[in-house]
Structure 1
């Protein structure tokens, strides 16, 4: 099956922006999100720039031929044996979390002005601990997510001859089956389902379970499936523990907490803390959890298509992260705002996400939290309404969610 290539311009722009600059370039992201393909596209760009192929050194630690180099000393010696000290060398270390103490290699290679270093990793904890301490100020990170709806649509526009017959709503229905890049090559839903099962197993058995060092895989999977089932709903660790207890499953608070952290570290789930709009304070009572790909629900839950509203919310959350925002759940008095997005200049944008607002009571309910906000930051109501898709309610902009997902800004 031919691997589909999606030229992900925003991520490639990051690599080109920081090329030849005195920082280690780090790509992090869940397994199969497209990091290796992105590096290959960037390496092709280097060849177009006139870089000699001999000055591009690529090591992917998922390949067995590089297994010996998971010893950091051997890796270090191997790279130095390949570089030309009279020229700039581009060194790519893909899935570097397989190398114990790899941060020592990264630090040693970084200080050599003839090496421009790029590394990738498939979990959050590979950038914790010693690496963060040793290389603080020496690396810049780009987090890679699976395909956006815009990237998914663009690929189909360029490669799918029947695309002109499909509406954005049709494409969205295809998109939420999975946004992992390789699923573009799948001919049937069964193939996609089988592939997602393989990805899920890879994440669990290569990232989560070894990290947690647990033998109780059943309890871990119960926690994962529970989080998937409450996507978009505020939840506390105590509530999860008590829910299990009511079903006669004994599990401690600390175990639930540790399992959730492991699932987050694997980048399978993302947590969103609550933010008190008045007073601008973080609340610690509960958080929301979102999957890295809503298609994963299909292999984790018996009815993955239930609750389309929260599935849309999950898609919007991931897009806000792609666009570079810090994302919180907002609280105004007793009302919840789905997302408070904070940019690098500390400007806020408020988002309420709902499947449809054709019922006047639903519209009134969804507008009410935004109406309680007294500041002048932008406020959006995103829906999948097929009629009356746009409106303005005293400064609250209603917009079709798919149009928003396809917009540049």
Structure 2
């Protein structure tokens, strides 16, 4: 095993991480004095961000990526050997960078040992449940977490080196330029590797890797057809309501608990998110239909059934991901009318948001009515309607 570990370490040292695929590093990641955990979907840029942080540190360090097929027999018992190989190759260091560490059951025990030795540890992972369970068991109070997403629109523009100024949001030429790129981003999404060459085979490979490795294999799910049909339906119905019972009938299962488990496993990969209707009764929140959003528009757009490009639903998906990026707790509202998003802060609804790509005569009345209703229900003075191309203030009685 030691010889193999040496080979893997040396090979990984030689991998070229594209320096132009850069992310803004939040100060939290620099200032954290505990174990730093960066989580997010596969291929969203966690490794690149890890190397950016690594390059900003002055200390010498160790780096190891566990997402390597040569490590299929690596277990928690091999961590000590890995440590010894590090020392043999690079001498004694106090800073560790571990990519996709959740692949190794019991990893948190080794990280805890390093932490207790006053080592600085950075880890990445792409399974929310495994990370939270392991961190909560052995590293309670000893870690900071940061969730990384595919590129935002500003990161998308930076990726393609598209320059823009604040005035561009108001000038005719500037608005036309930004609208052009935004409409591309709306369907191309923000996965760095996909944006390089727009290779749909890569996108399909990523999607299949998530479903097969992170959902089916990891959770011992045998029925591939059920998982594929479920995700295909959800991708075809982004931002729409669905209940566990309706999905159970659609997929042809006997018990809604199976669908619930499937969705939980898929959510743990960061591929999808579900939000609940806001209700003061937790029981009703759980029972009501959910709205499903995807981590990135490209996957939902390319892999779902979309006869026409639905700008409205994909804009809503983008807004939801931006709210997640800002650590918002999100719900939806519906009674006589619907409001797309409610934001809760400290057990109180603090904001209501509608999303409408084209704010025209056909949609204007509906969107305003839905927002006003939500404002009244939750005693809010002001709400927000996010559109693609309109900006105005609307006062109502």
Please state which band the TM-score falls in when normalised by the shorter chain: 0.7 to 0.9
* Cα 1:80/1:136, change in 2 over 3 Å: farther
| Alignment partner, residue 100 of structure 2 | 95
| Alignment partner, residue 243 of structure 1 | 250
Q: Is residue 332–residue 341 contact of structure 2 (8 Å, CA) maintained in 1?
A: yes
Determine the C-alpha separation between the residues in 2 that align with 1:129 and 1:59. 22
Secondary structure of 2:367 counterpart: helix
| Alignment partner, residue 367 of structure 2 | 366
* Cα 1:144/1:2, change in 2 over 3 Å: closer
Q: Is residue 17–residue 48 contact of structure 2 (8 Å, CA) maintained in 1?
A: no
Q: Is residue 232–residue 288 contact of structure 1 (8 Å, CA) maintained in 2?
A: yes
Determine the C-alpha separation between the residues in 2 that align with 1:281 and 1:250. 24
Give the alignment's Cα RMSD to 1 decimal.
3.0
* Cα 1:250/1:63, change in 2 over 3 Å: closer
1:263 correspondence with 2:266: yes
Q: Is residue 235–residue 305 contact of structure 2 (8 Å, CA) maintained in 1?
A: no
Within the candidate set 190, 194, 201, 1:179 is matched to 190
Secondary structure of 1:58 counterpart: strand
Secondary structure of 2:42 counterpart: coil
| Alignment partner, residue 311 of structure 1 | 314
Determine the C-alpha separation between the residues in 1 that align with 2:159 and 2:303. 27
TM-score relative to the length of structure 2: 0.84
Q: 1:242, CA displacement in angstroms?
A: 2.6
- Give the length in aligned residue pairs: 368
* Cα 1:101/1:229, change in 2 over 3 Å: same
1:107 correspondence with 2:96: no
Q: 1:344, CA displacement in angstroms?
A: 6.7
Taking the TM superposition and a 5 Å limit, the aligned residue runs for 1:5-404 are 5-9=20-24, 11-18=25-32, 21=33, 23-46=34-57, 50-51=58-59, 55-64=60-69, 70-79=74-83, 82=86, 89-113=94-118, 115-158=119-162, 167-175=177-185, 176-186=187-197, 189=198, 191=199, 193-244=200-251, 249-276=252-279, 283-284=285-286, 285-303=288-306, 305-331=308-334, 333-343=335-345, 348-359=350-361, 361-372=362-373, 373-374=375-376, 375-376=379-380, 378-385=382-389, 389-394=390-395
Secondary structure of 2:293 counterpart: strand
Which stretches in structure 1 are left out of the alignment for 5+ residues? 397-409
Q: Note the alpha carbon deviations across 1:166-207, whole angstroms, 9 max, x for none.
A: 722221232122310112321xx4x2x111011101101110
Q: Is residue 273–residue 282 contact of structure 1 (8 Å, CA) maintained in 2?
A: no
* Cα 1:75/1:2, change in 2 over 3 Å: closer
Q: Is residue 35–residue 144 contact of structure 2 (8 Å, CA) maintained in 1?
A: yes
| Alignment partner, residue 4 of structure 2 | none
* Cα 1:24/1:357, change in 2 over 3 Å: same
Q: Note the alpha carbon deviations across 1:348-395, whole angstroms, 9 max, x for none.
A: 221100121211x4211101122122323541101123xxx1111127
Which stretches in structure 2 are left out of the alignment for 5+ residues? 1-15, 165-172
Q: Is residue 350–residue 380 contact of structure 2 (8 Å, CA) maintained in 1?
A: no
Q: 1:251, CA displacement in angstroms?
A: 4.6
Secondary structure of 1:270 counterpart: strand
Secondary structure of 1:25 counterpart: strand
Stretches of 4+ aligned residues off by more than 6 angstroms: 163-166, 278-282
